[in-house]
Amino acid sequence: MPLHDWNEQTEWETVHKYWITELGRWLKPRLPAEYRVALATVDPARAVHVTRAGMLVVVIELVSPRNKDRPETRRSTTDRFLGYLTHGVHLLLVDVHGRPAGFSFADDLAAALMFPSPSVPAPCAVSYRMGGPAPQAGAGHLLALWRRPLTVGAPLPTLPLALTPDSSVLVDLEQTYMRAATDAYLP
């Protein structure tokens, strides 16, 4: 099911609940046995948390309009994403909302991390893989990312979701979105 225009749709909260659940269901059978999937709520965010040996290793977040409705919520949401990354937690971030115009969490994170990369405006999906320490002392940690613009009316991509610096699983955003939109009765 192609991406809806979330500037026109009003059922985001319902789709958000279904989609985050579908992402958790998608991941569970694809993870190695030592990994666990849980759904978490950090108001106004709902997320999929993946743990290994009781440690958080992966987060999937679907951005809500409430995450970006004011400068202070954009800042606190960016800070939450930065917290994951600086603690070595891999992140898959999906933002299907093009408003506010000119703002992108992907670009905000790139600036905060001082990671030069081409701009990717919302709507977009970005997968971040955290690695070990950089070879140069004091240079921080290695980071890899996959940034995909999303287009209203077009299918969503499949993105890698890192489990370790050397292993990942593929997340089919299109299939999980399609199930969520169908469950929410979106045309």
Rounded mean pLDDT, 89-118: 93
Residue 114 pLDDT level (bands cut at 50, 70, 90): confident
Q: CA 178 to CA 92: how far, in whole Å?
A: 18
Mean pLDDT is lowest, of 98-102, 105-109, 167-171, 174-178, for: 98-102
Inside any domain, residue 1 = no
Decide if pLDDT at 137 tops 60. no
Inside any domain, residue 5 = no
Inside any domain, residue 6 = no
Total domains in the chain come to 1
Q: What DSSP string runs through the chain?
A: -PPP-TTT---HHHHHHHHHHHHHHHHGGGS-TTEEEEEEEETTEEEEEEEETTEEEEEEEE--GGGSSSHHHHHHHHHHHHHHHHTT-EEEEEE----STT--HHHHHHHHHT------PSSEEEEEEEEEE-SSTTS-EEEEEEEEE--TTSPPPEEEEEEETTEEEEEEHHHHHHHHHHHTT--
Mean pLDDT is lowest, of 22-26, 32-36, 132-136, for: 132-136
Inside any domain, residue 70 = yes
pTM here? 0.92
Inside any domain, residue 179 = yes
Inside any domain, residue 2 = no
pLDDT of residue 43: 60
Owning domain of residue 171: 12-183
Inside any domain, residue 7 = no
Inside any domain, residue 158 = yes
